[in-house]
Amino acid sequence: MLPGTRALRTFEAAGRHLNFTRAAKEVGLTPAAVSYHIKEIEEQLGFALFTRTSRSIRLTAAGAVLFEAAGEALDGLQRATARARKLARGSSRLRLSLGARFATNWLLPRLPQFRAANPGLELTFDISDEVRDFDTDDVDVAIRFGAGRYDRVRTDRLFDTIVVPVCSPKLLETGPQLESPRDLFRHTLCYVDCEVGGLVWPNWPMWMAAAGVDDFDERSCVAFGESSQVVQAATDGGAVGLVEMAMVETELSQGRLVKLFDVGVGMGRDFAYYLVCPQSSSQDPPIVAFREWILDQTGRSAQKAALSLPGSPGPKRIEQV
């Protein structure tokens, strides 16, 4: 009698970690339950899978053979399940993986246009910033920010990122005047504190350097872990925030935020938002339809940004090197 799928998954996790506690955390069980599953498999098969001591466990020779086979079987089953789900969806559904920031601030406001242009195609979403495996995960296409270097996939560059200072109109009306970058010293300045691909996300010292300010004291800045928190702080009227201009188009067009000064800071030249899909399915009609639509939309956004400043191609952009 062969072990069931759940038992095999538990055994594979235990064999990979060689630790029941870590395996339990991965599969959502208690360490005692993991130990019970392992003993149950051993009783079914009639031989030991692990050699146990008071401090550690290790696979027996027989356990190592089964561990390798279990990994291959689970991987094959996961890949087959992903393919089956895609076949079951047919050509009327497309599953898109993208980050929460991009979904909320860029895609959702444009969904009505997509549905009007593609009435027979339904989008479903996998909201995540994690890299997805198209062979094993239930995903057809993804939008990712990075350097665009991925294996065995087609990538289409959508748009670069440029980080600019914004504030609410209320702050301009009631707060200290903002006629030059140095006037920002009298305001609370918020930014996102993170790294992407080994590069620091644009922050206030970078922006001030790009604006020609060389004596900025960053101790007055407030760091947040998420860009949505920076946008909220700026929208509430209590701070000036550094945000991605493409991600606050709605707030800017509706007058809830105002862009300050003609200076923006970008990441490295390769860093941008990319549409990513497997080479093998890049010509599937649903993917082609979505690609054509989003490339048209990002082209329009770029034109709109270029016209945002009279007589200017957009904010002066400083790239990290």
Q: Could you report the per-residue pLDDT of 29-85, keeping only the tens digit for each? A: 999 999 999 999 999 999 999 998 878 899 999 999 999 988 888 887 777 776 777
Are residue 76 and residue 102 in the same domain, yes or no?
Answer: no
> Is there a domain that residue 280 lies in?
yes
Are residue 242 and residue 275 in the same domain, yes or no?
Answer: no
> Is there a domain that residue 313 lies in?
no
pLDDT-flagged residues of the chain (< 70): 1-2, 82, 86-91, 300-321
Are residue 258 and residue 226 in the same domain, yes or no?
Answer: yes
- Go through 73-104 and write b for each residue having 16 or more CB atoms within 10 A of its CB, e for each that does not: ebeeebeeebeeebeebeeeebbbbbbebbbb
Number of domains the chain is built from: 3
Of 71, 86, 101, the residue at which a domain comes to its end is 86
- The reported pLDDT for the residue numbered 93 is 86
- The reported pLDDT for the residue numbered 72 is 85
pTM listed for this prediction: 0.69
Distance of alpha carbon 35 from alpha carbon 27, whole angstroms = 13
Burial of 172 (C-beta count, 10 Å sphere; 0-12/13-18/19+): middle
Residue 254's domain comprises 163-265
> Is there a domain that residue 177 lies in?
yes
The CA distances from residue 268 to 131, 134, 150, 156, 319, in Å, are 20, 27, 17, 17, 6
Of 63, 86, 109, the residue at which a domain comes to its end is 86
> Is there a domain that residue 115 lies in?
yes
Residues 6+ apart with CB under 8 A from 105: 231, 247, 248, 249, 250
Distance of alpha carbon 6 from alpha carbon 142, whole angstroms = 29
- The reported pLDDT for the residue numbered 62 is 93
Of 64, 86, 108, the residue at which a domain comes to its end is 86
Are residue 133 and residue 149 in the same domain, yes or no?
Answer: yes
Are residue 290 and residue 146 in the same domain, yes or no?
Answer: yes
Are residue 75 and residue 20 in the same domain, yes or no?
Answer: yes
Query: Residue 97 sits in a domain of what CATH number?
Result: 3.40.190.10
Residue 49 near residue 60, CB atoms below 8 Å:
yes
> Is there a domain that residue 256 lies in?
yes
E strands in the chain: 50-52, 57-59, 93-98, 122-127, 141-146, 153-160, 163-167, 189-192, 195-196, 199-200, 221-224, 240-244, 258-259, 263-265, 272-278, 316-318
Are residue 156 and residue 219 in the same domain, yes or no?
Answer: no
Distance of alpha carbon 110 from alpha carbon 118, whole angstroms = 12
> Is there a domain that residue 315 lies in?
no
> Is there a domain that residue 248 lies in?
yes
Query: Residue 21 sits in a domain of what CATH number?
Result: 1.10.10.10
> Is there a domain that residue 22 lies in?
yes
Are residue 274 and residue 155 in the same domain, yes or no?
Answer: yes
Are residue 46 and residue 140 in the same domain, yes or no?
Answer: no
Are residue 280 and residue 152 in the same domain, yes or no?
Answer: yes
Q: Residue 193 in 3-state DSSP?
A: coil
Are residue 167 and residue 260 in the same domain, yes or no?
Answer: yes
- The reported pLDDT for the residue numbered 53 is 82
Are residue 38 and residue 61 in the same domain, yes or no?
Answer: yes
- The reported pLDDT for the residue numbered 313 is 36
The residue whose two tokens read 């079987």 is 73
